[in-house]
Amino acid sequence: MTSFAELGLSQPTLEALADVGYHEPSPIQEQAIPHLLQGLDVIGQAQTGSGKTAAFGLPLIDYVDPTEHEVQALVLTPTRELCIQVTQALRSYGVRKGVDVVAVFGGAPIRSQQAQLRAGGHVVVGTVGRVKDLISRHSLMLHSCRFVVLDEADEMLDLGFLEDVERIMALTPSSRQTALFSATMPPEIRRLADQYLYNPVVVQVKAATLTVDTVAQFGLQVASKDKVAALLEVLSAERPRQAIVFCRTKIRCEQLYRTLRDNGMNVKALHGDMTQGARDGVMIGFKEGRTPILVATDVAARGLDISAVSHVINFDMPNSPDIYVHRIGRTGRVGRSGRAITFYEARQQRDVEAIEAHSGVRLTPWSKDAQGDAEPARPRPKRHSKPHDAERDGGEPQLRKLIIAGGRAEGVEPRDVVRALTAPTQLDGEAVRNVVVLEHYAFAEIPAQDADHVLQAASGVELHGRPLRLELVRA
């Protein structure tokens, strides 16, 4: 087993690692750190919980010169929660060396963040929107920023931040060193890497880690009207130490939280309609173990890194197999085993098959009489084609993903997307799948055979007073 000292880290950084109790590097750290210490650009494919913050954070701390009072390194994160976690980690790594790390994110007073920057932060960790805002106010100058990290780049893509990321990258020196970390590598992220990284070294944790083989994965077919009763039964039988229950929408999340609370459970909700202060309070209570059950939406739960989570329950089916992997990756952390239980309706059987094909694991049927001894699901051979592009059993057509200009900020809701794609095309509403509405963009999947017709017929249709702009996401 390689030690941190063998990777080439400086003595102050090694002492800081000893202070926080780190003894042996994880696989992603062992692979990435030597390349970053050599000044090379790196693409790291790794999930949250694999140790990627230390993989880029330790070389970053070694790089910074604390005698130079200017911003020398920038870490961009998709969410406030991840920003805070990365900041805390970097501060602990840099304490022996005297490195000043400043966190900048929305939902907090911008003036105090401006003051911290004026005081001479060496490293800035920030959300994309707040970094962009501070740059526009001339409070954040990046002319001396020679180390840039894009953390969880695929989530930045999902949240519609990629254009802003590119604008920020364009303001950094061309001689910078860049690291990009992402759990998945969709085409847009590969294009970003091609444009902004120079001859990058690709490091990737072994496939077993990416498929979350420390998690026993179960499926439970249940009718929509019976899902709440099924959830109560599952929680009673499983008796989780800590569980995250995922819902698809903010309204469903709030409703389910109230139902569980009214059934006498110690439960909290986490969704985007809550104030940031309320979200922070819920996060702290869950991390400290005072709240055993958290009902959350996907966006609100991004950045949650809690090793004690024993169960993930997908009350609502995830919108895509990638999201499924992200969700269940919240359990089975730091060498522990975890359990993931996914509710699905009969009509969602093919979605289950897509998840199984993507993750390489068959979901075991859940029953209350088979508790306690289930092992992490055994991987099965993966299909070579992507599940949303593959022709599935039963003659299911291939699907193509569309990106739609306009999202929540413009008042767009999923039903608006379905209506806009079906009204002028005579397409059946059931053919429009996996609709996801983000802040300024929306996504939907349609049968590949209808893609050209939909693009031609629906482009220009009015959606909330604006002509509809569609584009196929290139595979």
CATH number at residue 64: 3.40.50.300
Whether the CB-CB separation of 89 and 48 falls below 8 Å is answered with no
Residues 46 and 176 in one domain: yes
C-alpha atoms less than 13 angstroms from C-alpha of 371 in its C-beta half-sphere: 13
Residue 51 is predicted with a pLDDT of: 79
CA distance 441 to 143: 31
Q: Exposure of 227 by Cβ count < 10 A (0-12 exposed, 13-18 middle, 19+ buried)?
A: middle
Window from 74-88, 142-156, 356-370 with minimum mean pLDDT: 356-370
Residue 442 is predicted with a pLDDT of: 79
Alpha helices in 340-438 (DSSP H): 349-359, 414-422
Residues 151 and 35 in one domain: yes
| Total number of domains constituting the chain | 3
Q: Tell which of 348, 365, 382 closes a domain.
A: 365
Residues 249 and 188 in one domain: no
Tally Cβ neighbours within 10 Å of residue 393. Answer: 9
* Share above pLDDT 70 across residues of the chain, in percent, rounded to a whole number: 86
Residues 240 and 91 in one domain: no
How high is the mean pLDDT of the chain? Answer: 82
Tally Cβ neighbours within 10 Å of residue 403. Answer: 16
Residue 396 is predicted with a pLDDT of: 44
pLDDT of 294 over the 90 cut: yes
Residues 87 and 159 in one domain: yes
pLDDT digits (tens, 9 = 90+) for 159-169: 788 899 999 99
Largest distance between two CA atoms of the chain: 67
Residue 320 lies in a domain: yes
Window from 174-188, 226-240, 278-292 with minimum mean pLDDT: 278-292
Residue 232 lies in a domain: yes
User: Bigger pLDDT: 432 or 232?
Assistant: 232
pLDDT of 36 over the 60 cut: yes
Average pLDDT (21-48) is: 87
pLDDT of 351 over the 50 cut: yes
CA distance 458 to 211: 38
pLDDT of 372 over the 90 cut: no
CATH number of the domain within which 446 lies: 3.30.70.330
Residue 439 lies in a domain: yes
Confidence tier at 206 by pLDDT (50, 70, 90): low
Average pLDDT (420-436) is: 72
Residues 324 and 256 in one domain: yes
Average pLDDT (203-225) is: 74
Residue 385 lies in a domain: no
Residue 448 is predicted with a pLDDT of: 84
Average pLDDT (101-129) is: 91
CA distance 274 to 397: 39
Confidence tier at 370 by pLDDT (50, 70, 90): low
Confidence tier at 403 by pLDDT (50, 70, 90): confident
Residues 116 and 201 in one domain: yes
C-alpha atoms less than 13 angstroms from C-alpha of 414 in its C-beta half-sphere: 12
Average pLDDT (414-419) is: 77
pLDDT of 151 over the 90 cut: yes
Confidence tier at 211 by pLDDT (50, 70, 90): very low
pLDDT of 382 over the 50 cut: no
Residue 157 lies in a domain: yes
Residue 47 is predicted with a pLDDT of: 64
Average pLDDT (310-316) is: 93
Tally Cβ neighbours within 10 Å of residue 162. Answer: 19
Which of 359, 33, 47 shows the shortest CA–CA distance to 181? 47
Confidence tier at 388 by pLDDT (50, 70, 90): very low
Residue 344 is predicted with a pLDDT of: 94
CA distance 386 to 348: 18
CA distance 397 to 431: 10
Residue 273 is predicted with a pLDDT of: 80
Residues 38 and 161 in one domain: yes
Residue 421 is predicted with a pLDDT of: 82
Residue 360 is predicted with a pLDDT of: 76
Which of 259, 231, 255 shows the shortest CA–CA distance to 244? 231
Residue 323 lies in a domain: yes
| Cross-sheet strand order for the sheet of 243-247 | 267-270, 293-297, 243-247, 311-314, 338-344, 215-221, 364-365
Residue 90 is predicted with a pLDDT of: 93
Alpha helices in 79-226 (DSSP H): 80-94, 110-118, 128-136, 153-158, 162-169, 187-196, 207-210
Looking at mean pLDDT, say which of 95-104, 422-431, 449-458 comes out highest.
95-104
Amino acid at 388: H
- CA 394 to chain centroid, in Å, comes to 32
Q: Inter-axis angle of helices 80-94 and 52-63, to 10 degrees?
A: 50
Residue 374 lies in a domain: no
pLDDT of 256 over the 50 cut: yes
Residues 41 and 133 in one domain: yes
Residue 465 is predicted with a pLDDT of: 75
Residues 313 and 194 in one domain: no
Q: The tokens 């990058």 sit on which residue?
A: 200
Window from 37-46, 415-424, 442-451 with minimum mean pLDDT: 415-424
Which of 20, 52, 17, 11 shows the shortest CA–CA distance to 33? 52
Average pLDDT (157-180) is: 90
Confidence tier at 19 by pLDDT (50, 70, 90): confident
Residue 370 lies in a domain: no
Domain residue limits at 467: 399-472
Whether the CB-CB separation of 121 and 99 falls below 8 Å is answered with no
Residues 113 and 237 in one domain: no
Residues 194 and 225 in one domain: no
Buried b (16+ CB within 10 A) or exposed e, 332-363: bbeeeebbbbbbbeeebeebbbbbbbbbbbbb
Residue 393 is predicted with a pLDDT of: 36
Residue 387 is predicted with a pLDDT of: 35
Q: Model's pTM, two decimal places?
A: 0.54
pLDDT of 84 over the 80 cut: yes
The CA distances from residue 312 to 47, 219, 316, 331, 350, in Å, are 16, 12, 12, 7, 21
What three-state secondary structure class fits 279?
helix
